[in-house]
């Protein structure tokens, strides 16, 4: 099988630096999360992206409610998050990337356990996922490699 050459592998797209700067200013990120989607999801690229976006919205709401309770419901507190969907150039492997902050007064181990448990509960998320420490702004540069259309703007939030 021939691999599809990624068009953004060796060149930057117009506005990429601005997008990286904007996403990096959303807050302090602690984790870089990759979540693959189940193979059983049907539809074209846009339909799969829409399903992933809706499921991600629920996932983030559950995590934010768990740690911020009513403050999240009132829009007073939430985790900083940068979210993108990849699959345009490799439709056989649709997946999400998240740069995510961490709630205050919670240990890293407990929060990672919460993230992993919630990922497993989401109906279209596959059991293949990765939660890594966020190391640098270069991670944001990497996750938006498919262009600005891959950014899920409604799931990006500035930590409050």
Which CATH number applies to 28-155?
3.30.70.360
pLDDT score of 48: 92
Mean pLDDT of 76-97: 90
Domain definitions of the chain by residue range:
28-155
Bridge partners (DSSP) listed for residue 33: 98, 131
Of 27, 31, 57, 29, nearest in space to 111 by CA: 31
Q: Which residues contact 98 (CB under 8 A, 6 or more apart)?
A: 31, 32, 33, 35, 56, 81, 82, 83
pLDDT tens, residue by residue, 125-156: 988 888 988 877 678 778 888 888 888 989 98
Q: Range with the lowest mean pLDDT among 42-51, 85-94, 95-104?
A: 85-94
Q: d(Cα 25, Cα 52) in Å, to the nearest integer?
A: 24
pLDDT tens, residue by residue, 15-68: 778 887 888 788 889 999 999 998 888 888 899 999 999 999 999 999 999 999
Q: Which two tokens stand for residue 16?
A: 């990429």
Q: d(Cα 83, Cα 99) in Å, to the nearest integer?
A: 7
């Amino acid at each position: 099988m021939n691999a599809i050459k990624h068009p953004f592998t060796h060149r930057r797209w117009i506005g990429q630096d601005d997008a990286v700067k904007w996403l990096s200013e959303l807050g302090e990120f602690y984790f870089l999360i990759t979540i693959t989607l189940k193979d059983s999801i049907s539809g074209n690229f846009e339909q799969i992206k829409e399903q992933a976006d809706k499921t991600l919205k629920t996932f983030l709401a559950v995590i934010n409610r768990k740690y911020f309770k009513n403050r999240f419901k009132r829009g007073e507190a939430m985790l900083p998050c940068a979210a993108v969907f990849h699959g345009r150039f490799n439709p056989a492997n649709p997946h999400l990337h998240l740069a995510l902050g961490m709630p205050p007064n919670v240990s890293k181990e407990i929060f990672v356990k919460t993230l992993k448990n919630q990922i497993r509960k989401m109906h279209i998320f596959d059991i293949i996922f990765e939660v890594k420490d966020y190391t640098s702004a270069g991670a944001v540069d990497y996750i938006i490699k498919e262009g600005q259309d891959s950014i899920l703007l409604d799931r990006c939030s500035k930590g409050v």
